[in-house]
Structure 1
Amino acid sequence: MNRHTGGIILFILFNCLPYLCTAAAYGDNCTDTSECTDGSYLECNTDKKCSCSTGYIANGTVCNADLGTGCSNVVSCYDQNSECVGVLTQCSCKNTHYDDNGDKSGGTCQLKNILGEECPDPNTVLGTCSTGNSGCSYDDSSSTNYRCKCVSPNVVQNGKCVEATWSNWSNWESCSLTCGSGTRTRTRTCSVANSCTGIATESESCSNGVCPVDGIWGNWTPWSACSPTCGDSSGQRTRSRNCDSPAASNGGNECVGDKIQTLQCTISKCPVDGGLSEWSAWSSCSVSCAGGSQTRSRTCTNPTPQYDGKDCTGHRSETQACEIQACPGDLKHDI
C-alpha cells in the first residue's frame, strides 16, 4: 500500500464512521432503523423512510438536534441561538438567550430580558434576565406578573445591578468647641445614592479641656445715704458691685470697670433744736401790801429752733407771791 492509498483509507474511516457510511441517509428507503445512517438521530418510520428521531428536527436533508437533545460535531443544533458544548452533549441556548420551554425538547431560544422588561414565571423557566445580579421577580404591573429586577442587596445604577456598599468612614472632624464638651462627626458615602442601609453621619462627644471663664459684674447695690446727712458742706453717696456673676476662673479675665461708684449729693442744714434763755428778773409785785404776785419769763431763743429743729420744752414763765405784809390801815383797825 502506497502513501496515497493509505491516505484515502484514513480519510474514509475518519469521515464515514460512525454515521455516514451506513446504507441509508435521511429520506432513503429502509426496512429497519439499523439501516439508517445513525440510530441515535435517524429512525425508519412507518413509511419505511429514514426520518429524524424524536428530539431531532429535519432541516433540509439533515437532522438537527432540538433543545435538550444530544448533539455532536456531526449533528448540529437546530436553533441558531443554541450551541453544542463538548462532544455528545445536549443543545443549550447561548448565554444571551434562554429556553422558553425550560431546557426541555420543543422549546426555542429567546433573547434574555434586560432590567425592567417582563419575564416568564421563574418557577418554570430559569435564567431569563440578561443583566448580572438580576432575576425574574414578582411584579403585578407586568402582564406575566414577573419582571427583571436586581437581586438584593444589588440595586440599579446606570442600567446595571450593583451592590450598594458604604465607603470607609472619614476621619473625625475637629471638635465643635475649642474647650469644654462639644461634638464631632464623621461621614461615609454610599456607592449608590440613598440605597445603603444604615447612617451616613455619625457623631460623638468630645472635649478639649476646661474652658476659661471670664468674670462678669454682678448687679449694683442701692445708693447709700448721703454722708454726712446734714451740714454746711456737700456730701457723697456710693454704690458697689462684685465680679461674681460668675467670678473669673480657669485663667479667664477679671471684670473690667469700677467696683465702686461715688456720686456728689446736696445736703440740707442740720436741724437746730430750740434752747431756753435765762430767766428774766422778777417783775414788780402787783400790790404793795396784803399779798400780791410777781412773774418772770424766759424765751426759746438760746438758740431759736431752725431747719425743722425741735421746739423748747419747759415752762416759759413763773409766778410767785410778794408783799404779803398787811397794809398800814389794816393794822390800825386791828388796834
Structure 2
Amino acid sequence: MWKFFLLPTTLFICTRVANGQLDRVDNELPGRVDYELPEIDGTIKLSGGNNREEGRLLIYHNFQWGTICDDNFGTSDAVVACRQLGYRTSMPIVYTIGGGSDPIWLDDMGCDGTELRIADCKHLGWNIHNCNHGEDVGVRCTGEYGVNGNWGSWSVWTACSSSCDSGHQTRSRLCNNPAPSSNGAYCYGKSFEVLNCSIASCTVNGIWGSWSVWTICSSSCDSGHQTRSRLCNNPLPSSNGAYCNGKSFEVLNCSITTCTVNGNWGSWSDWTICSSSCDAGHQTRSRICNNPVPSSNGAYCNGKSFKVLNCSITRCTVNGNWGSWSDWTVCSSSCDSGHQTRSRLCNNPVPSSSGSYCNGKSFGVLNCSIARCAVDGSWGEWSKWSDCNATCNGGVQKRTRTCNNPYPSAGGSACSGMADQILICAESDCPVLGAWSEWGVWSLCSTSCGSGNRTRNRLCENPPPSNGGEYCNGKTLDSDTCNTHECPINGNWGSWLDWTVCSSSCDSGYQTRSRLCNSPMPLSNGAYCNGKSWEVLNCSTAMCTVNGNWGSWSDWTICSSSCDSGHQTRSRICNNPVPSSNGAYCYGKSFEVLNCSIARCIVDGSWEEWSKWSDCNATCDGGVQKRTRICNNPYPSAGGSACSGMADQILICAESHCPADNCLCFNGGKCVTSNDGKVVCDCIGQWTGEFCLESQCMTYDCGFGNCFVEPMNGTAQCVCGNKQPTYCPGKRIRFKR
C-alpha cells in the first residue's frame, strides 16, 4: 500500500505500508500531509508525543487501539516496536508516559529483539494485566530509516514428494522485492507452503525393536536357561508390509553343572522261557535302573536287577564218561611179568539218574620186564575199602590186593582173579553251584540322546545250579549310560495373550498380541517355533493432526554486494515434519537476512528529466518561464560526484514593455524606484534577479542534502533528514516516487 505526501514544491514523497509495518520518511518536512495506519491486528503506532518519533505505544487488537504497560518493557522490546514502525535504531528510549484511555491490551512483555512484531513477543496474553493507565509505556525511536522487506512471487509447486502416505508439494517465495535492509522489517507471513498430494498409505515393512534384557536363569543345574524377546515394532508392518525376518525369542543356556539324579527301577521284564525241561531249568526276568538313570553321582537303585525262578523238578539222565588215565605205576618186577598199571574213573561225568556206566576198562597193565621168574604169583590180603571218593553222584569205594604173596616170576603163573574191587557208593546226586557264562554284547542305546542306557546280560549256566547248589553270585544284567549329549527339543507356541489397547485413535493405531515359544522352549539346537510370535491389528483409520516443525537452516548465501546494503540470506522449510491433517504451520521465520557489508557504494549523481516549463510569470517587461531538475537519478552518495550543471533554467518571456506604472515581482519582492528612476524589484532573502525568481541554490553546496528556498521569506537551506543545517554530511534521505 502506497501513501503519498504533497509538499508545496514539485517533489512528491511516498511511503509503503505492508502487514502493519511502515517505511518512514522525515516527519518534520514542512507541510506534509498526515497518513493513516492500516488497522490490522497487531499494528502499532505512537501517539501523544512531541514528534512522530516518540509517544505512547498503542497496539491494534480486536478492532480497537489499546496501550501496553511498562512492566518489564525494556530496550529489546523497544527495538522490536521501532523496527515494526520502520525506524532503524539500536538505542531507542523507553519511558512511562501514562495518560491513556484505551484498553490495556498487553503487560509483562518479553521480546528478545529478533521478533518482527510486538505481538510476536512473549506476554501474559491479550487484556491480561495488573497495571493502570498511569503505567502506559512510551517509546522514542531515533536513528535512520530502514527498508522493510516485501515478498517476491511464489515459485511453482514442486512434484509430489511421494505417491503414498503424506506425499506433499511445496512452493516458496523470497523476501526480496525488496529485501529488508538497514534493520528494516522482514516480510510478514509464510515463505513456504505445503499441499498434501497423496492419501494412499505406503507399504511399511516391519523392523525388529531392541531385545529385552535376559531373564534370570531358570535353574542352577542341568538345563537352566535365560530368554529374551523383541517386538516387530520399529516400525510395525503396515499396509501389507512384510513381517520382520528372524526370531522374536532367544534362549541361552546359563548353567553347566549337572543336577544329581538318584536312580529308580524301571518295570520288570516278562519271565523268560524255562531254560530246561529237567534238572535245574529256570526262568529269569530283569529290570533296569533307568526311571530315571542315576547321574552326577546320584545313588544306584537299591535291590536286585535280576530274578531267577526254578521251573523244572525232574532229574536229567546222565551217562557216565571216563576221566583221564592216571600215570603208569613203577614196574612191579624186574623178571618174569613185571608190570606197570594205570587207572581211570568213570566221573566225567559220573553216571546218574539211571544213566549207563562208562564202557571199557578202568585199569590198564603194561608188562615192563622180559626176564622170567619161576615163581607163581599168589595174592596178598585185600586192602581195606577206601573211603567213598564222592559224597554224591555215584562215588566208588575201592580195595585192592597184590599178586605178591609171592609174585609170579620166572615163568611162574600170575595170580588169578581181580586185583581190584570197586563198590558203588554215595549214589545220591551232588549239588551243582551255578557259574556265569561270558557277558553278552551290549544292547543298542535306549535313546539317541539325552543320556540313554544300554545293557548286556549273562546266564548262570556254566554250569547252571542244580541239586540245591547256589545260584551265581553277582548281576545277571549290566547297564551303562550312553549318548549322554542333550537331546534337541523343538519349541512349541504357548497361548496368545489378549490384544493390547489400541495405540492411537488416529493414523496407524494398532493393537498387538504375542505368544512365547515356551510350550516347551527349544533347547539344545531344537527348532524354534514356526510362525509369528507377534500379531498386529490396525484399529484406527483417521489421520492424526501433525503440526509442522522447521527443518535445518540452509547455508548463508554469498554476500549480495561488497558495499551498501549487501546481504546474505538463508532459509529453512517447514518439513520436519510437514504439517498435515490441519496441523499448525511452523511458527517463526523461514527466511533470514544478514547484513554483510557496511561500506557505502560510491554513486555519482545524475539529473532526472527536466520538468515542463512553467507558465510565463508576466505578460510584459520580460516575464520568465522556469523549469527544474533534481540530482536524484541517482542521488550522489558515498563520496560520489554531484551533478554538473544547473538545477534550474529560466527563459525570458513577454519581453514587450509594460506601462511605466506596472511592476511585477515574485517571491516576496517589492517594486521600488531606483536612483535612475527605473522601477525595479527589491528581492528578499536569497532571492535575486530582475523579478526575484533566481536563488543561490543554483550554486549552494548542501553535501548530501537538497537545497530548499522558503517561498515566503526567501531563506535558502539544506534539507537532510529531520535537520536543517547549512551543510548535510553522511547519508542522503531517499524519497520514493
Which structure shows the higher helix fraction? 1
Q: TM-score, normalised by structure 1?
A: 0.33
